[in-house]
Amino acid sequence: MPLPGAGITLREAALLFGDKGEPNHLINLLSELSPLTEDLLWKPTNLDTEYKFRTVEGLPGVSYRSINEGVLPTRGTQKIVTESCSLMESVFEVDKELIDIAPDKAVYRMEQAAAHLESMTLKFSEEVWYGSRGSDIRSIQGLSERYSNLGGPAADYIIDAGGTGSDNASVWLIGHGDRTFHGIYPKNSKSGFEHVPGPKQDIVDPENGGTYEGYRDRFKWRVGIALPDYRQVGRICNIDVPALLTFGTSGDTSANLLLLVNRLTNRIHNLRNGRFAFYMNRDLKEQWENQILQKQNLALTIDAATGAITTAYKGIPIKVDDTLLSTEERVV
């Protein structure tokens, strides 16, 4: 059981907010639909729908002293940050006739609802990577917006792979933890998730008009992210995806993914603080494996190379996230 105030995974939340010792299957399903939601730790907000915390911008001073010599007190510099939750909703409608003929009505209704939960999970992942409150005040301020300036406050944790144009991709290294990066949900809620199953009612046919008997379920998810320590997240940006296909040819202009990933691990402030994972899309994962396989010592078997090297680097797992794009604009 997590300590009071500590973050929990969605899988742990499913057990915590289940009924009669049984896990909440819908919350558990959310954890399985995306590598990001599987890895994230979650904490309730300390305000109604907002999470307020202090970040250290400068450490206090330290002095040497002699016997009977005084030392002046010092203090570090801190900044108050407030992160807020966004509200996502999805509505599911199903014809009563389909429910009536299903062998197991509850299971059938759950299977139909699963597609809506998957859409919500993918939408959340997209927002974590690319959300912008400048474009939509109701959305999440995503990581790409926070790590978007090669000369900004987070510049030391952004590596430029040199790509130009709008066919770039990124590799992310995230340290999940209570004091590093985590999800948030409103306090006094069941991990921010709410399922409202509706009774039998008349459903309006949007194409032909008229009504039919059916059921309507509403899914709500109040979620956000918090970044207490930006030094525990890193990004390799501007990876030219088409150029990766030239690897090993006479006109090779591909980014050296192994070199870049290794550099990123050395940029992170403290790899012992947090549970780390790499995230990349399928285009990058495929080219990562191609580069590793062609560069490895021939004494290694393919299984050894792919198992020990491509699924993890320095013991840090590599996850494929399909919501990461290969069409990113250049970060400048």
Residue 187 DSSP SS3: coil
DSSP 41-72: -EEE-SSSSEEEEEEEEEPPP-----TT----
Establish if 157 belongs to a structural domain.
yes
Strands 233-240 and 158-160: parallel
Looking at the domain assignment, is residue 327 inside a domain?
A: no
C-alpha closest to that of 147 among 266, 231, 269:
231
pLDDT digits (tens, 9 = 90+) for 147-184: 999 998 899 999 999 999 999 999 999 999 999 999 99
Is-contact 224 85, C-beta < 8 A?
Answer: yes
In a domain, 224, yes or no: yes
Neighbours of 92 (CB within 10 A): 19
Please name which of 328, 330, 321, 248 lies closest in space to residue 282, comparing C-alpha atoms: 321
Q: Enumerate the β-bridge partners of residue 240.
A: 168
Per residue in 227-277, pLDDT tens?
A: 999 999 999 999 999 999 999 999 999 999 999 999 999 999 999 999 999
In this structure, the number of other CB atoms found within 10 A of the CB of residue 205 comes to 10
Tell me, what DSSP letter sits at residue 308?
Answer: I
Tell me if residue 314 falls in helix, strand or coil: coil
Structural domain that includes position 180: 10-56+80-320
Q: Which residues of 134-152 are buried (b: 16+ CB within 10 A; e: fewer)?
A: eeeeebbbbbbbbbbeeee
71 within some domain: no
177 DSSP β-pair partners: 181
Amino acid 235: pLDDT: 98
In a domain, 94, yes or no: yes
How many angstroms separate the CA atoms of 262 and 171, rounded? 12
Q: Is the dihedral of CA 126, 128, 130, 133 positive or negative?
A: positive
Phi, psi of 327 (to 5 degrees): -125, 35
Residue-wise pLDDT for 74-111, tens only, equals: 777 778 999 999 999 999 899 999 999 999 988 888 78
Amino acid at 264: L
Structural domain contains residue 267:
yes
Inside any domain, residue 330:
no
pLDDT beyond 70 at 225: yes
Give the separation between CA 235 and CA 213, rounded to whole angstroms: 50
Q: How many domains does the chain have?
A: 1
**Cα dihedral: 324, 154, 176, 264 (round 10):** 70
Q: How confident is the model at residue 301 (pLDDT cuts 50, 70, 90)?
A: low
